[in-house]
Amino acid sequence: MKKLLRSALAISLLGCAMQAAAQTWPARPVRIVVPWTPGGTVDVTGRLLAERFAPVLGQPFVVDNRPGAAGDLGSDYVAKQPGDGYTLLVNGSVAASAPFKQLPFDPFKDFAPISQLAVPVLVLVTHSSIPVTSIPELIAYARANPGKLSYASVGVGTPQHFAGELLRQQTRVDITHVPYKGGVPAVAALLAGDVGFAVNAANTVLPHVASGRLRMIAVALPARTTLLPNVPTIAESVPTYDMPSSWLALYASAGTPRQIVDRLNSEANLIIRDPQVIKERLHPNGMEPIGSTPEQLVEMIKSDFAKYSRIAKIGNIRPE
């Protein structure tokens, strides 16, 4: 009986301590882990939050770039940190790689989802030498040249890879995936004519589209974007094309007090929906704002996991 009372007392004291810590959070600098190299859309988003969180929450927010394993290296680091609100993560879906490889963390249990943030606009672009101007023409070209058309992505299992793979599955064309280690080398390969097309972030390819070296065919989003309102979606030509959007989100380590999660959610949504932020930071970097509740983010992770699982299973996708 005494042991039970001591255990109950210990749990009660721990709960009080956690509540007190949540009320005084943040009492020291907070780290935002970005599991990609500096300069990309994930990094831009993480630095935007760090810049805007600091004056409102009264402590420095420092971006910590930890690239590797298509974002899973940095995610694993955050998953293993204490749930105290002092280590955050900005990344896409933490479950994106789960359908085709064994992760060192549990994407559904090791994080406290906070909010969706923004959607980097992915576009399908072709080399100017490929004589197509639309998705139907691209499909017809691939069928007329079986096995000769290849496409670049930023790595196996990334949204860019799955976007091309889903197109292959839904249209039954014979095309080859060529993975690169990031958007810059993927675009460089496309510009050199090493591959015929690519699905990549809009902001990395628009200058080359403007110069005439690349041709923009479609956006790989569920609906048209205000950034490129005259560019059709892939699904407008392939109605069964149900590609998960390449959204970004904010996470904390599992066990982070709900009070901290709610505070971060509120501030993140204010930032991401600020008209000035949209005009000056998001749109110039090829992103559309989203925002969400923690619960909506959880449902989105589950929904996209199901879609990625289906694509990976049909395509027999394995890590390289």
Q: Does domain 122-220 have CATH number 3.30.70.890?
A: no
pTM of this prediction?
A: 0.85
Every domain of the chain and the residues it spans: 29-119+245-315, 122-220
3-state secondary structure of 252: strand
Q: Which CATH architecture has domain 29-119+245-315?
A: 3-Layer(aba) Sandwich (3.40)
Residue pair 54/61 in contact (Cβ under 8 Å)? The answer is yes
Give how far the C-alpha of residue 219 lies from the chain's centroid of Cα atoms, to the nearest Å: 16
* Domain 122-220 in the same topology as domain 29-119+245-315: yes
List Cβ<8 Å contacts ≥24 apart for 205-208: 205/123, 205/125, 206/286, 208/125
- So what's the pLDDT on residue 100? 82
- So what's the pLDDT on residue 156? 85
Residue pair 113/294 in contact (Cβ under 8 Å)? The answer is yes
- So what's the pLDDT on residue 218? 97
DSSP state, 222?
S
- So what's the pLDDT on residue 238? 96
- So what's the pLDDT on residue 16? 46
- The pLDDT averaged over each successive group of 10 residues in the chain (320 residues) is 55 52 90 91 95 98 92 95 98 89 94 97 96 98 96 88 95 95 88 96 92 96 91 96 90 98 98 96 93 97 92 83
Residues 278-290 as b or e (16 or more Cβ within 10 Å = b) = beebbbebbbbbb
